[in-house]
Amino acid sequence: MTLQYCGFVAILGEPNAGKSTLVNQIVGSKVSIVTPKVQTTRRRILGIALRGDHQLILMDTPGIFTPNRQMEKAMVKTAYQSGRDADCVVLLIDVAQKKFDGCHEIIKKLGGKPLILALNKVDLIDPIRLLKISADFAQYPQITDTFMISALTGDGVDDLTSHLCKQMPQGPWHYPEDQITDLPMRLWAAEITREQLVLQLRHELPYETYVETEKWEPFDNGSVKVNQAVVVARDAQKPIILGKKGQQIKNISMKARLEMERLLGHPVHLLLFVKVTDDWMNKINIWHEAGIISEG
Ligand SMILES: Nc1nc2c(ncn2[C@@H]2O[C@H](COP(=O)(O)OP(=O)(O)OP(=O)(O)O)[C@@H](O)[C@H]2O)c(=O)[nH]1
Ligand SMILES: [Mg+2]
């Protein structure tokens, strides 16, 4: 039997750096949702990729920033915890942004843990600026390697992936070879709908909004019936989701259904409705219990 290699790679970085885009690019499928808005990823999501004898378990994490709300604090904690748990840490940096203070702060907070630096979105800036940014990070002895990539186009991603494979310890694969994420289908489907909520409503979307899959019923012919609640914190937020004459929720439901069908490859019957729950803080406790976000 040939030797197997398997390990965990934490992808850390500021919100919007492109962490989920990178995980999806390496896995080759959308396991984690992507939007132009910050704080899209709220929980740790595993993306599982195979390269020869190597199984890479990529930990997509919420973006790291200075948190205010309880939920934000839990998200940032999850990200740092993932960094501690991983065999190898990739710090992903959006090179198209103006300021890098947040990235320097993250490096300091991570202590001496060895880091692989991935300068992302190279498709957006000129090479001279890129070299200058790279030089600014050369001061850190814990940065073992630097890659220049575009998670969106895939440019440079193969080199990074090959390097990650070389860092994986020898050991049996943790997941079956056809598994690409640890998210159960219900949670994945809720994420796909949340992606459309963010994309369609952008800044109008109330922060507390989340999606709960109440029913996931697969049929013999391959189709699946999905009932989901868009949960908001107050009655006054309902009209934002519904839109005039329910047009907004209809549009979101149609787009989420099409995306699920595209990714699953079979018909989806999606029923979306709005629910008001004012015990949002208790929900965070439920998330803790489910292990979706870390303790504390
Ligand atoms: N041009 C360009 N855009 C990118 C690249 N990588 C990601 N993006 C875009 O950047 C935005 C944020 O990408 P995400 O993958 O959601 O970023 P994230 O780091 O997961 O963000 P959070 O989950 O909010 O922390 C999206 O609009 C992506 O399409 C890249 O290499 N080039
Ligand atoms: Mg993300």
CA 276/CA 84 separation, integer angstroms? 37
Would you write out the chain's pLDDT as a tens digit for each of its 296 residues?
789 999 999 999 999 999 999 999 999 999 999 999 999 999 999 999 999 999 999 999 999 999 998 889 999 999 999 999 999 999 999 999 999 999 999 999 999 999 999 999 999 999 999 999 999 999 999 999 999 999 999 999 999 999 999 999 999 999 999 999 999 999 999 999 999 999 999 999 998 899 999 999 999 998 999 999 999 989 999 999 999 999 999 999 999 999 999 999 999 999 999 999 877 666 666 666 555 555 44
Distance CA 30, CA 181 (A): 10
- Backbone dihedral region of 75: left (phi > 0), alpha (psi from -120 to 50 degrees) or beta? alpha
Q: Can you give the pLDDT at residue 296?
A: 40
pTM to 2 decimal places: 0.95
> Are β-strands 5-13 and 45-51 bridged in parallel, bridged antiparallel, or unpaired?
unpaired
Cα distance between the two ends of the chain: 43
Token pair, residue 251, equals: 């549009």
CATH architecture under which domain 185-289 falls: 2-Layer Sandwich (3.30)
Per-residue confidence (pLDDT) for residue 278, from 0 to 100 = 76
Token output for 250 = 């209809």
Report pLDDT for 195: 97
Query: Which residues have beta carbons under 5 A from ligand 2 (an ion)?
Result: 19-20, 40-41
* Distance from the alpha carbon of residue 36 to the mean position of ligand 1, in angstroms: 6
Q: Tell me, what DSSP letter sits at residue 181?
A: B
Tokens representing 105 are 């702060």
- Interstrand relation of 115-120 and 5-13 (parallel, antiparallel or unpaired): unpaired
Torsion-angle region of residue 243: left (phi > 0), alpha (psi -120 to 50) or beta? left
Best residue among 21, 82, 155 to mutate for probing ligand 1, ranked by most atoms within 8 Å of CB: 21
CATH 3.40.50.300 intervals, the chain? 5-167
CA atoms of 118 and 149, how far apart (whole Å): 7
Probe residue for ligand 1, chosen from 27, 34, 78, 130 as the CB with the greatest number of ligand atoms within 8 Å: 34
Beta-carbon count within 10 A of 160 CB: 23
Give all strands of the β-sheet with 143-148 in edge-to-edge order. 45-51, 54-60, 5-13, 88-94, 115-120, 143-148
DSSP tally for the chain: helices H, then strands E: 9, 9
- The CATH superfamily assigned to 5-167 is P-loop containing nucleotide triphosphate hydrolases (3.40.50.300)
Pairing state between β 224-232 and 210-218: antiparallel
- Tell me the C-alpha to C-alpha distance, in Å, between residue 89 and each of 84, 94, 188: 9, 16, 24
pLDDT at res. 295? 47
Q: Where in the chain is the domain with CATH 3.30.300.20?
A: 185-289
Give the H or E element holding residue 87: none
Spatial separation of the C-alpha atoms in residues 296 and 136, rounded to whole Å: 35
Q: Which residues pair with 30 in a beta bridge?
A: none
Q: What is the CA radius of gyration of the chain?
A: 20
With CA atoms as reference, report the closest residue to 13 among 106, 85, 123, 116.
106
Kindly state if the Cβ of 202 falls inside 6 Å of ligand 1.
Answer: no
